[in-house]
Amino acid sequence: MRRSAIPEPRVSLSHHIIADGSNGADHLPDPDEEDKDAFPEDTWAAWTCLLGSFLMMFPSFGFQTAVGSVQDYINTHQLADYSVSDVGWITAVLVFLTLFLGVQVGPLFDTYGPRVLLIFGSLANFACYMLLAQCTEYWHFMLCLGVLGGVSSAVITTVSISVLSHWFYRRRALASGICMAGSSAGGAIIPLLLRTLFQKYDWLWAMRIIAFIALGCYVLGVFLVRGRLPTGSKSRVTIDIRALASPRLCFLAAAVFSFEFIIFGCAALLPTYVRFAGFSEDLQFYSLTLLNGMSLFGRVLPGFAADQVGRFNTLLSMVCLTLIIMACLWLPYGSHNEATLYAVVAIFGFGSGGWLSLAPVCAGQLCKTEEYGRFYGTVYSVAAFGVLLTVPVGGKLLQSTTPQVLIGFYSAILFVGLISVALSRWAVLDWRWKWKVKI
């Protein structure tokens, strides 16, 4: 008989909360308590696999977090006759396919393991960058960067994150944060590389150099990433609507939708925002590097806290912090001077990095380990529609109104995400809110 989409915990959480007499805090029992000793997370194999995932994320998801520098360049050169919103559809398709196709890649990972999928994804992504160097027309960029880049990145990113669930349990939040830090490192370094490459060389050789850097990372990554659990699971390659019938996953999916809407909107439009605000051209690259550099810390450091005080608790705190900064500082003062913009971008980068690393781990608490790939893909197939809309909508707002309106719009979306995370946490507690529960 086929398993229900959302497996209910083996015990009722509301009836099995254990009071910790040492500090008065409540702790939820782990659904897989009897299995967690089977995870070899302190072994050399586990950490080399994590290193491989980091390397795979650097040029794939890392390029997407730095795509704003590419989008602004082609919008002022090859596609200068097109609006910001029109060019935004290219990067929107890129990130949409990366997230949406995760629902197909997740079950394939459960069936075939990581090695074959990573080889396919790496070769396709390398071809994407090489072909991107030759693009001159709108449809060239859409097919090459949007479609081919999105499909190949979907394979690489989904497998790189999902394989960590084979090796880590207690430190899964930390491992996920380190893996996602690979994309932050790429998002911080690639804009600086492009700034230099665009000045010294033309578009053609700038993209070719990026392609060969990516190839080097992929060769090492494919060698290091290994699966541990048996393959051959016959998961159905589809979105199971019944999964969203669970309030826990439904509200979490809504939160992730909001997060991805804001994160990739900022990543793609920040250089254009800087240009419309009247700042220098160098700030277009430096601001994106700062955002992704701080995101690296935001993806790693909250992982330590999450493993100690709870994944949902840490995620909720990070969202609150970032919303306050966006609404109280970035909205009224962000476009006034460079120092203020640097400050708010740095804090936003740290906070949004925490969302990216913690949201998949929170999703992992709602399913069994062997189903993680499929559930991860299901949640992010919903979030994919957020990234499909964010760049065209944000670009239209930016071009037709002011930079402040764009930040106000993103702040409102983040408030929706905050409410959704709180509701998901509440649902996990069987609608009995407790402040001091480790969850």
Residue 438's SS3 state is: strand
Q: If you average pLDDT over residues 353-366, what whole number do you get?
A: 81
Tens-place pLDDT, residues 192-227: 999 899 888 889 999 999 999 999 999 999 999 887
What is the structure's pLDDT at 372? Answer: 65
User: What confidence category does residue 374 fall into, taking pLDDT thresholds of 50, 70 and 90?
Assistant: low
User: What confidence category does residue 238 fall into, taking pLDDT thresholds of 50, 70 and 90?
Assistant: low
Tens-place pLDDT, residues 423-436: 988 888 888 887 77
Tens-place pLDDT, residues 98-123: 888 877 787 788 788 888 999 999 99
What is the structure's pLDDT at 411? Answer: 93
- Residue scoring higher pLDDT (15 or 317): 317
Whether the pLDDT of residue 6 is over 70: the answer is no
User: What confidence category does residue 420 fall into, taking pLDDT thresholds of 50, 70 and 90?
Assistant: very high
User: What confidence category does residue 347 fall into, taking pLDDT thresholds of 50, 70 and 90?
Assistant: very high
Backbone angles phi, psi at 36, to 5 degrees: -70, -20
- Residue scoring higher pLDDT (151 or 67): 151
Whether the pLDDT of residue 7 is over 50: the answer is no
Q: Give Dmax (Cα) for the chain.
A: 67
Structure tokens at 75: 């919008």
CA atoms of 167 and 427, how far apart (whole Å): 28
User: What confidence category does residue 22 fall into, taking pLDDT thresholds of 50, 70 and 90?
Assistant: very low
Q: If you average pLDDT over residues 335-355, what whole number do you get?
A: 88
User: What confidence category does residue 14 fall into, taking pLDDT thresholds of 50, 70 and 90?
Assistant: very low
DSSP-assigned states of every residue in 381-433: HHHHHHHHHHHHHHHHHHHHS-HHHHHHHHHHHHHHHHHHHHHHHHHHTTT--
What the chain holds in terms of domains, given with CATH numbers, is 41-227 (1.20.1250.20), 239-438 (1.20.1250.20)
> Which range is least confidently modeled, 61-70, 103-112, 126-135?
103-112
- Residue scoring higher pLDDT (439 or 289): 289
What is the structure's pLDDT at 377? Answer: 67
Whether the pLDDT of residue 313 is over 50: the answer is yes
CA atoms of 374 and 380, how far apart (whole Å): 10
